[in-house]
């Protein structure tokens, strides 16, 4: 992910209320709230990632983040524009 899409994703993950981890390929999972960790995954549009979360609200958090990742965040206008 580039910096702006990664920032959008990390901020959304932080709002979920449950710890979420994200991984890509053979890389170990990183906290979805870690900007550096998410950037280090090297994921780009079309990369298959795995999201993991446990606890109350985990399913809803994973659904929300998966829906966010399904969008082309590079093509969207910034919310503050």
24 flagged as catalytic: no
Continuous H helices in the chain: 3-14, 35-40, 58-70
Q: What is the DSSP letter of 41?
A: T
Q: Which residue, 5, 63, 68, 64, is CA-closest to 38?
A: 5
Q: Which entry of 1, 2, 31, 32 is annotated as an active-site residue?
A: 2
CB 16 within 8 A of CB 64: yes
Active site residue ranges:
2
């Amino acid at each position: 992910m580039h910096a702006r899409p990664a920032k959008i994703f990390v901020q959304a993950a932080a709002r979920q209320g449950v710890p979420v981890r994200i991984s890509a390929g053979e890389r170990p999972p990183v906290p979805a709230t870690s900007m550096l960790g998410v950037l280090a995954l090297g994921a780009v549009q079309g990369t298959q990632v795995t999201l993991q979360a446990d606890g109350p609200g985990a399913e809803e958090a994973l659904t929300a983040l998966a829906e966010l990742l399904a969008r082309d965040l590079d093509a969207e206008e910034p919310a503050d524009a």
